[in-house]
Each structure stands twice: as structure tokens, then as C-alpha cells.
């Protein structure tokens, strides 16, 4: 059995939702577009899962955070897809792909063929087993990638009120989940191998601000080590976490956020891969001209920096999705994807944004004992990255604009003296 579509989006996450809206805006005909997703719900704003979804009071629940509410656009419910003639094949995993024949085979045994395929398969959470530790299947060990994981995390948290959680990993998931656990009245110890949290992006000065804030909320940090094993009770629940430095942390629950791997396996050997993702050009087109890739799974040229990158953030998923639809449906009207990397997070009462690239020399500015501070990164004499905590909408827009312009910086001391004022007047 099989069906045929003009356009197929493989994956039903953030990028799929934003692409669907763009297809409709550009006048896709009923019956031309199909979305296939392993998840049983239509696309939603994944960032909600580590924030509003985990709140003890008035938590965010579907349908409130379906795409595309995250960028103040229409909220696409199942009814919207139906009204716009988009075929949804959800709760269905694609188990193999044949880009030469232009077909996908689903786990239910259906062959779906396409004229144009958009790969939006995102990524999967890395498992502890991949680092040689067993125990991921224990009922009180949680990962967080999709709605099922988030629902499970909420249930485990509810059983642990007043108890102890160990958070493994000091990246985005670790930091956002630790804050949510504290808000749910759970005692948190964070464990990670680096010298400070958010090591991929934060300087040690920025990191100490957040670590001090977390400590003021009762969070403990154990840095420079990793877990080596779990202790289990007779029914297989984790009771303690053993670290490589020899210490042992009693635990009622564990949250693991140790990074992701893009879901490229269906296409290995069929498409060119680079930096762990599917390599695409400025039109988001892969090495096969009928196949495009967007979001976390795509390695695309970042024109500003003259190199390819794979980004794992929602803004790039949204914008690459929008761009790919224009590149497919209005190829003569659209240029190359020209993206300024943008990352953000919100924890407790804090909120930061980062634009550009975090390499080169760093200049910090603002009041690190107050609410608003930031940093600029300068490389080869040009401003290439900006970070701001506690900014207003206008201030965030200003650092984004200044970073995109990549102005020449002759005097770092002067940049430090001007601080946020530099971006506001750039
Ligand atoms: P996404 O992961 O959203 O979707 C992939 C989809 O493909 C899933 O539905 C999956 O089931 C499906 N799929 C995969 N393989 C399949 C197969 N073989 N068959 C069928 N379906 C398949 N970013 C940010 O900038 N700010 C933030 O605050 C956050 N917060 C945040 C919280 C949490 C908990 C997570 C997990 C992630 C974030 N992110 C984030 C990252 C952001 O959510 C991420 O970059 C985007 O979701 C990427 O969108 P994609 O559509 O590429 O993948
Ligand atoms: P991450 O890459 O942000 O952080 C991974 C962390 O794992 C590292 O900081 C390190 O501390 C830790 N680590 C690595 N190996 C380890 C080991 N052996 N033992 C213990 N710790 C180890 O990844 P993540 O936090 O898992 O986030 C997953 C994905 O979700 C990322 O793509 C991220 O961008 C996305 N996300 C983004 C946001 C946001 O942008 N605000 C929020 C949540 C999730």
C-alpha cells in the first residue's frame, strides 16, 4: 500500500510546524503536503517542555503551545491542518528512506512517496549508556526531549516533593530543569565535567553569576567530575549516584541532559553529512536536489562567519523552515539563507539572549551584582557576538542589530566603557 505527495516533511517538531504555516501562506493546494511524525501530537513549541510545562501551578499544556505561538503567529491545531488539506501521518516512525526512488517506508508498512522531501527529524537525547553507565531505564531516571519525556518527568517530580534530585549535565537541559525542580520544591545537586555551567557559551564570569543565583536557591554544584554508576533498590529504582571522584549522592530522582545527536541515520550513505548533520546549501538543499533539511538536523552555511554550522536552537529551526518553503515554492524570489545565530534561555526570574559567535576576546559590561549585564566577543578586530541578561526588548534588538553589522572594534577598553551603550548607538 502507498500514497504519493508533492511535498513530504519528515518529522513533526518545531521546523515542521513553521514549514507547514509557510506552505499554507504560499498557497499549497489541498492534498499536496504530508507531515510524518513519530510523535502522536501535531507540532508544538518544544522549548515549553523545560519551562512552562514543568511549573507546579497552572502548567502549560497542549493545545496551548502548538506551533506557531512561539513567534506570535497562528496556533496550528489538528483542525487547522485538516482545514488546510495537510495530511498528517502522526504516531508513525519512518524506518527507512530511499532517496533514489523518493520513497519513505513507515513502521506500519506504508510506502509514502514524494517529489520533494524536507527532512526535519531533529535530534535525540544522548543516553548514559553511550558513556558507559547503565541505568537509563530506571523509573526515576528522566531525559527530556519530547512530550512523553516531559509528562514522565512531571510524574516523577510529583512523587519526589521535598526529596533529592541529581541533575547530570550543566548545559541547557541541566540548567532549565534544575530551576524547574527547585520551583517544585525538590533539592537539587548538579554534576558536570566542566569548570562551570553552560561551558559551550558562558564565560566563567557569566557562569558564576548564574551559579551564585542558583546557589541562593539552594542548588549545589559538583564540577569537574562525571557519574560512574547508580545504586538501585530491589525494585530497580535509583537510590544514589556514584561519581568518578569517589563521592556518593543519595537521589530520589535523576535528570540527565548530556547533549544530543541529530537524527540522520535514515540518510547515512545516501546524502552528504557534515559536522554530524545533513549538509545543505544556502537554499537548504542537500546533496540530492529533491531533498532539503532544516532545524537541528541540518548543517548549513552561516554566511556571516563563512563556514557551515549545525545549530540546536528553536530560532534557527523556525527560520530555516520558513526559508526552505520559500526556496522550494518561489525559487526565483528568494536568496540564500542568511542567518544570525540566536540562543536564549529563561530560568527563575532570569532571562538572557545571545547573538552571533562566542569566540575571540571577551569584554564584559554592566552590573554583575545587579540585574542587567552582558558581554561582547571580538574576533579579528570585529564584534561578532553579544550576550545580555535582563535586557528590554529594545536592548535585545540593539545587540542583535549591532552583532549582525559586525562593526570594527579598535579599542576593547573603550568598548567596555561604552557597554550596552555601544549597541544602542551602533
Ligand atoms: P524537533 O526535535 O523539534 O522535531 C523533530 C521531530 O522529528 C520530532 O517530532 C520527532 O519525533 C520526529 N522524528 C525524528 N525521527 C523520525 C522518524 N524516523 N520518523 C518520524 N518522525 C521522526 N531552543 C531554544 O532556542 N530555546 C529554548 O528555550 C529551547 N528549549 C528547549 C527545551 C527542550 C526540553 C528541548 C528538548 C529543546 C529546546 N530547545 C530550545 C531546542 C529546540 O527545541 C530545537 O532546536 C528545535 O525543536 C529543533 O526543531 P526540529 O524541528 O529540527 O526538531
Ligand atoms: P548541551 O549540549 O547544552 O549540554 C550538555 C552538557 O552535558 C554539557 O554542558 C556537559 O556539562 C554535560 N556532559 C557531557 N558529557 C557528560 C558526562 N559524561 N557526564 C555528565 N555530564 C556530561 O545539551 P543538553 O543540555 O542536553 O540539551 C540538549 C539539547 O536541547 C541541545 O540541543 C540544546 O540546545 C537544547 N535545549 C536548548 C535550550 C535553550 O536553548 N534554552 C533549552 C533546553 C534544551
Mutate to test the pocket of ligand 1, among 8, 11, 91 (most ligand atoms within 8 A of CB): 11
Reduced DSSP (H G I as helix, E B as strand, rest coil) percent helix, strand, coil of the chain, to 5:
30, 30, 40
Q: How many DSSP H helices and E strands does the chain contain?
A: 9, 26
The continuous run of DSSP H or E covering 204 comes out as helix 204-216
How much is the pTM?
Answer: 0.98
Distance from the alpha carbon of residue 260 to the mean position of ligand 2, in angstroms: 7
Cβ of 299 less than 6 Å from ligand 2: no
Ligand 1 centre distance from Cα of residue 253 (Å): 24
Q: Give the three cell numbers for residue 65.
A: 503551545
Q: What is the pLDDT of residues 305-330, one digit of tens each?
A: 999 999 999 999 999 999 999 999 99
Q: Considering all CA atoms of the chain, what is the largest pairwise distance in Å, rounded to the nearest integer?
A: 68
CA angle 236, 242, 244 (to 5 degrees): 145
Protein residue closest via CA to atom 21 of ligand 2: 169
What's the N-to-C CA distance of the chain in angstroms? 60
Nearest to 323 by CA among 311, 334, 309: 334
pLDDT tens-digit profile of 229-248?
999 999 999 999 999 999 99
Q: Is 401 in the pocket of ligand 2 (CB under 6 A)?
A: no
> What interface predicted TM-score (ipTM) does this complex get?
0.98
Asked whether 50 lines ligand 1 (CB < 6 A), one says: yes
Taking residues 376-381, what's their average pLDDT?
Answer: 97
Mean pLDDT score of the chain: 97
CA of 123 to the centre of ligand 1 (A): 6
Q: Does 380 score more than 90 pLDDT?
A: yes
Which residues, 6+ apart, have CB-to-CB distance to 82 below 8 Å? none
d(CA 14, CA 19): 9
pLDDT in tens, 176-231: 999 999 999 999 999 999 999 999 999 999 999 999 999 999 999 999 999 999 99
Q: Tell me whether residue 27 is exposed, middle or buried, using C-beta atoms within 10 angstroms of its C-beta: 0 to 12, 13 to 18, 19 or more.
A: exposed
SS3 assignment, position 242: strand
pLDDT digits (tens, 9 = 90+) for 135-144: 999 999 999 9
**pLDDT of residue 1 exceeding 70:** no
pLDDT given at position 285: 98
- Residue 150's nearest CA partner among 79, 62, 282 is 62
- Across the range 348-358, mean pLDDT stands at 97
Among 36, 60, 122, name the best residue to mutate to test ligand 1's pocket (greatest count of ligand atoms within 8 A of Cβ): 122
Q: Which spans in 218-340 are helix H? A: 314-329
- Sequence-distant (6+) residues with CB within 8 A of 240 are 230, 231, 248, 249, 250, 251
Q: Tell me which residue has its CA closest to atom 14 in ligand 1.
A: 121
Give the number of whichever ligand sits closest to the CA of residue 46: 1
Say which DSSP state 176 is in: H
The angle at the Cα of 145, spanning 270 to 12, to the nearest 5 degrees, equals 55
Amino acid at each position: 500500500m502507498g500514497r504519493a505527495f508533492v511535498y513530504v516533511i519528515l518529522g513533526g517538531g518545531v521546523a515542521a510546524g513553521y514549514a507547514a504555516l509557510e506552505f499554507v501562506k504560499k498557497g499549497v493546494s489541498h492534498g499536496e503536503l504530508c507531515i510524518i511524525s513519530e510523535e502522536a501530537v501535531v507540532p508544538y513549541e518544544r522549548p515549553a517542555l523545560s519551562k512552562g510545562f514543568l511549573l507546579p501551578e497552572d502548567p502549560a499544556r497542549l493545545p496551548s503551545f502548538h506551533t506557531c505561538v512561539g513567534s506570535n503567529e497562528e496556533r496550528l491545531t489538528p483542525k487547522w491542518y485538516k482545514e488546510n488539506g495537510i495530511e498528517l501521518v502522526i504516531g508513525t516512525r519512518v524506518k527507512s528512506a530511499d532517496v533514489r526512488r523518493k520513497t519513505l517506508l513507515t513502521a506500519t508498512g506504508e510506502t509514502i512517496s514524494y517529489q520533494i522531501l524536507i527532512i526535519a527529524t531533529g535530534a535525540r537525547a544522548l543516553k548514559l549508556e553511550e558513556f558507559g553507565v547503565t541505568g537509563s531505564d530506571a523509573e526515576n531516571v528522566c531525559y527530556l526531549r519530547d512530550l512523553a519525556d516531559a509528562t514522565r518527568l512531571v510524574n516523577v517530580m510529583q512523587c519526589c516533593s521535598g526529596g533529592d534530585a541529581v541533575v547530570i549535565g550543566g548545559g541547557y537541559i541541566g540548567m532549565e530543569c534544575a530551576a524547574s525542580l527547585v520551583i517544585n520544591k525538590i533539592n537539587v545537586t548538579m554534576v558536570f565535567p566542566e569548570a562551570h555551567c553552560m561551558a559551550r557559551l558562558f564565560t566563567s564570569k557569566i557562569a558564576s553569576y548564574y551559579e551564585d543565583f542558583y546557589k541562593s536557591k539552594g542548588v549545589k554544584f559538583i564540577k569537574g567530575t562525571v557519574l560512574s554508576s547508580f545504586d538501585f533498590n530491589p525494585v530497580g529504582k535509583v537510590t544514589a549516584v556514584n561519581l568518578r571522584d569517589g563521592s556518593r549522592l543519595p537521589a530520589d530522582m535523576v535528570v540527565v541532559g548530556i547533549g544530543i545527536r541529530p537524527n540522520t541515520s535514515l540518510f547515512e550513505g545516501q546524502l552528504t553529512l557534515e559536522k554530524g548533520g545533513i549538509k545543505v546549501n544556502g537554499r537548504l538543499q542537500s546533496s540530492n536536489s529533491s531533498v532539503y533539511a532544516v532545524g537541528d538536523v541540518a548543517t548549513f552555511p552561516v554566511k556571516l562567519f563563512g563556514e557551515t554550522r549545525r545549530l540546536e536552537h528553536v530560532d534557527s529551526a523556525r527560520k530555516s523552515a520558513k526559508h526552505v518553503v520559500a526556496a522550494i515554492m518561489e525559487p526565483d524570489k528568494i536568496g540564500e539563507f542568511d542567518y544570525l545565530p540566536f540562543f536564549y534561555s529563561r530560568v527563575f526570574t532570569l532571562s538572557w539572549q545571545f547573538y552571533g559567535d562566542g569566540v575571540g576576546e571577551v569584554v564584559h559590561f554592566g552590573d554583575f551584582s545587579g540585574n542587567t549585564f552582558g558581554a561582547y566577543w571580538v574576533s579579528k578586530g570585529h564584534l561578532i557576538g553579544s550576550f545580555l541578561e535582563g535586557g528590554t526588548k529594545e536592548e535585545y534588538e540593539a545587540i542583535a542589530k549591532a552583532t549582525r553589522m559586525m562593526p570594527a572594534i579598535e579599542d576593547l577598553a573603550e568598548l567596555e566603557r561604552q557597554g550596552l551603550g555601544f549597541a544602542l548607538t551602533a
